[in-house]
Structure 1
Amino acid sequence: MRHYRHDHPERGTLRLVIDTDELVRRNAGFAASGAQVGLPLLSTGNLRLIGCVDPRVDPSHVLGLAAGDAVVMRNVGGRVTPAALRSWAMLAKVVEARSHGRPPPGGQMVVLHHTDCGITDLAPYPDLLAEFFEIPAASLEQKAVLDPYASVAIDVELMRRAMPPAVRVSGLVYDVDTGLVQVVVP
């Protein structure tokens, strides 16, 4: 049963309320399905993906991925930041440990940006964005915050420099209006 709350009773606006009790109820259904049984810590494929935290753009959902298909990281804008690169480096060490020092060869890294991203609303806050990207505010133009097609190309290049040569890196932009992805960087 879905629970709704009136945010603006005078306008009749309802908002879905998902509280802890609702999460526990949903989790019971998930656990009963057995979908999680036997999943290894390492993904079953070679796919790694970085995408945005926007609830409209859950990478697993919009790309048809099942649990265990990929390692998915999400942050504001799906951006490749120094913090994201540090996290990927840590994950590589986890893979190395679980693979007894023999990480699987190759792989695919996908950078997924999207249209109508909330990161564009942060443009009036250059100090906040500069801190996020760990760059001087004067260098923010290089990040193409207002253009997902340009920003995904920038981030693919950063990721290509950070990943081992055997890892292929590509960039997609998801259109929130059509539900389709476009390959921007093959």
Structure 2
Amino acid sequence: MINTDEPADRNARFADGGSFAGRKLMPTGGLTVIGCVDPRVDPTAVLGLELGEAAVIRNVGGRVTPATLATLDMLARVVRARTGGPGPRDNHYAVLHHTDCGITDLTAFPDLLTDYFDVPAIDLAAKAVTDLVAAVRVDVEILGRTLRAGVFVSGLVYDVATGLVDIVVPPARVEA
């Protein structure tokens, strides 16, 4: 088991390397990834991202929920406060779901899922909790309706057995 001493020791080695120095608040790769908290699916490792290249939002299932949208809104406000504008139009938002996701185990608890997605029970099926590809499409569609025009949105599925990512929804610019 990893206790608090081990991460602190690892952090000291990280700090000694100095790779964090001079990093800016804005991701240098213009990428925001919405992914799952599953420890097998760390977006930075899975997508080969370097420190500072992407912002990463993680939750159960990597789903676009009302809480995710609130986080994205807060991030947009931070960008406006920091830069005085809406940020680059070529930013990219990627939804990253994965095989063998534990959220599918929660279908036995529809009340929990309706609360999580903030939908009435009758609308829960539209969230496609048990259909991985459909769930990616649902979440990308929500982002497309929510994010500002000009940014890109895409959807990916990571296979925990092979380590490979499939592009389910290729990057597309959000229209006005």
Scaled to the shorter chain, the TM-score interval is: over 0.9
Match for residue 17 of structure 2 among 21, 33, 38: 33
TM-score (norm 1): 0.89
Counterpart CA distance in 2 for 1:107 and 1:101 is 13
TM-score (norm 2): 0.94
Q: Structure 2 unaligned runs (5+)?
A: 171-176
Where do residues 97-116 of structure 1 align in structure 2 (5 Å cutoff)?
97-101=81-85, 103-116=87-100
Counterpart CA distance in 1 for 2:104 and 2:23 is 37
Q: Which residue of 1 aligns with 2:5?
A: 21
Structure 1 residue 18: deviation in Å? Answer: 0.5
Is the aligned partner of 1:47 residue 2:31?
yes
Is the aligned partner of 1:93 residue 2:71?
no
Counterpart CA distance in 1 for 2:43 and 2:25 is 19
Counterpart CA distance in 2 for 1:119 and 1:146 is 8
- SS in structure 1 of the partner of residue 32 of structure 2: strand
User: Which amino acid is 2:65 matched to?
Assistant: T
Structure 1 residue 102: deviation in Å? Answer: 5.1
Match for residue 71 of structure 1 among 38, 55, 68: 55
Aligned length: 170
Structure 1 residue 157: deviation in Å? Answer: 0.2
Is the aligned partner of 1:174 residue 2:158?
yes
1:126-173, Cα deviation, whole Å (9 max, x unpaired): 011110000112221111101111100000000011111201111000
Counterpart CA distance in 1 for 2:32 and 2:151 is 10
Q: 8 Å contact 2:76–2:86 — kept in the other structure?
A: no
Q: Structure 1 unaligned runs (5+)?
A: 1-16
Structure whose CA Rg is larger: 1
Counterpart CA distance in 1 for 2:126 and 2:93 is 22
Counterpart CA distance in 1 for 2:85 and 2:135 is 34
Structure 1 residue 32: deviation in Å? Answer: 0.7
Structure 1 residue 42: deviation in Å? Answer: 1.2
- SS in structure 2 of the partner of residue 123 of structure 1: helix
Counterpart CA distance in 2 for 1:155 and 1:178 is 24
Q: Following TM superposition, where does structure 1 have runs of at least 4 consecutive aligned residues deviating by more than 2 angstroms?
A: none
Counterpart CA distance in 1 for 2:54 and 2:79 is 13
Is the aligned partner of 1:122 residue 2:103?
no
- Percent identity of the aligned residues? 58
Is the aligned partner of 1:139 residue 2:123?
yes
User: Which amino acid is 1:100 matched to?
Assistant: G
Counterpart CA distance in 1 for 2:146 and 2:43 is 22
Structure 1 residue 98: deviation in Å? Answer: 1.0
User: Which amino acid is 1:144 matched to?
Assistant: A
